[in-house]
């Protein structure tokens, strides 16, 4: 996995402030996060052997991340320490659990295509390479190219959508956007979720598109059609990291050889459980927790 590290500094407030407004918040917490770490932890807690490429700062936040990788039994040998500060994320969470986030990548921007090429053997020997976009696009593209050329399944969570993201088409097997991201990535953004998924399938030359739809569940679109995956009714506390829990859990399911529909159902339950807890990586459930909920369905 090529991924990011962001220290999440989470603020809770009754609503989003309008321009120029100062609003009194209702809570604050700090959690280790970033899409890369969140998805890596989700995959590791689902039983996958996870190896990570990334960068943290030479600071206390960076040291906490390296310790967390050890604690989660994630191979961080290719995570470098730089003079730039560790990345930070600034989510604002509303009472219903919905969130909006500003991220400041900092050390994450130090990753180069050369760093990725130095880890080529790791990518080539993987079952699934999972990518997100809180890193420089040229490094992401290099990882996708190396894995694609080796016949490794490449899964991309195109978040945040970057200028030039469409240039990754042809290198990705499975695209996992949420609905707004999916609409921004297609030339035909105005149709139903199914229509948008089908457009992405063709425009990106994909094997599958999995649209994550929040409380509406997910939608799998492939050459055989579209299959909805129902949501699980839970009391949402914090939706930060729900999409990451889905992506990491889906990658782990595919790496262990699950059939695609089973892997998606597993990921959907993992995401539902994650929103019942606060934080990004901290909210990710274990394989046992997901399996217990699935067995009750």
* CA dist list (Å): 112 to 32, 100, 138, 175: 23, 28, 7, 23
Structural Rg of the chain based on CA atoms: 18
State the sign of the Cα–Cα–Cα–Cα dihedral 213, 147, 38, 140.
negative
Ligand-binding site membership of 99 (annotated): no
State the sign of the Cα–Cα–Cα–Cα dihedral 192, 187, 102, 130.
positive
User: Comparing C-alpha atoms, which of 8, 139, 113, 111 is closest to residue 54?
Assistant: 111
Residue 188 is a catalytic residue = no
Ligand-binding site membership of 238 (annotated): yes
Ligand-binding site membership of 214 (annotated): yes
Ligand-binding site membership of 85 (annotated): no
Ligand-binding site membership of 197 (annotated): no
Question: Residue 108, CB half-sphere, CA atoms under 13 Å: how many?
Answer: 27
Which contiguous run of DSSP H or E holds residue 212? Answer: strand 208-212
Beta bridge partners of 131: 2, 156
Ligand-binding site membership of 15 (annotated): no
Ligand-binding site membership of 37 (annotated): yes
Ligand-binding site membership of 205 (annotated): no
Ligand-binding site membership of 8 (annotated): yes
Ligand-binding site membership of 211 (annotated): no
The Cα 189–Cα 196 span in angstroms is 6
Ligand-binding site membership of 184 (annotated): no
User: Comparing C-alpha atoms, which of 289, 292, 267, 266 is closest to residue 277?
Assistant: 289
Give yes or no for a contact between 154 and 63, defined as CB atoms under 8 angstroms apart.
no
Ligand-binding site membership of 240 (annotated): yes
Ligand-binding site membership of 1 (annotated): no
170 burial type by CB count under 10 A (0-12 exposed, 13-18 middle, 19+ buried): exposed
Identify the active-site residue in 58, 244, 258, 297: 244
Ligand-binding site membership of 7 (annotated): yes
Instruction: Summarize the annotated binding site as residue ranges.
Output: 6-8, 34-38, 134, 178, 212-217, 238, 240, 243-244, 268, 274, 277, 279, 283
Active-site residues, by number, are 244
Instruction: Summarize the annotated binding site for K(+) as residue ranges.
Output: 238, 240, 274, 277, 279, 283
Instruction: Summarize the annotated binding site for ATP as residue ranges.
Output: 178, 212-217, 243-244, 268
Instruction: Summarize the annotated binding site for substrate as residue ranges.
Output: 6-8, 34-38, 134, 244
């Amino acid at each position: 996995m090529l991924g990011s590290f962001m220290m999440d500094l989470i603020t809770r407030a009754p609503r989003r402030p309008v321009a120029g407004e100062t609003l009194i918040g209702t809570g604050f917490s700090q959690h280790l996060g970033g899409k890369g770490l969140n998805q890596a932890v989700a995959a590791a807690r689902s039983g996958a052997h996870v190896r990570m490429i990334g960068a943290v700062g030479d600071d206390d936040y960076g040291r906490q991340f390296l310790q967390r990788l050890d604690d989660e039994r994630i191979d961080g040998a290719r995570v470098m320490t730089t003079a730039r500060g560790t990345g930070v994320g600034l989510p604002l969470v509303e009472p219903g659990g919905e969130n909006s986030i500003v991220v400041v990548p900092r050390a994450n921007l130090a990753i180069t295509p050369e760093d990725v090429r130095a880890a080529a053997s790791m990518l080539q020997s993987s079952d699934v390479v999972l990518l997100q976009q809180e890193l420089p696009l040229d490094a992401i593209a290099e990882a996708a190219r190396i894995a694609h050329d080796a016949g490794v399944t490449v899964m991309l969570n195109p978040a945040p959508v970057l200028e030039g993201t469409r240039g990754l088409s042809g290198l990705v097997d499975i695209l996992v956007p949420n609905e707004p991201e999916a609409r921004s990535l297609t030339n035909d953004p105005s149709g139903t979720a199914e229509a948008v998924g089908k457009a992405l399938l063709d425009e990106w030359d994909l094997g599958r598109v999995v649209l994550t739809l929040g409380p509406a569940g997910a939608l799998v679109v492939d050459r055989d059609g579209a299959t909805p995956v129902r949501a699980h009714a839970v009391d949402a506390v914090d939706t930060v990291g729900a999409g990451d829990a889905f992506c990491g859990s889906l990658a782990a399911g595919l790496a262990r050889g699950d059939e695609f529909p089973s892997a998606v159902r597993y990921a959907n339950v993992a995401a539902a459980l994650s929103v019942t807890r606060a934080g990004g990586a901290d909210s990710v459930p274990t394989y046992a927790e997901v399996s217990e909920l699935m067995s009750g369905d």
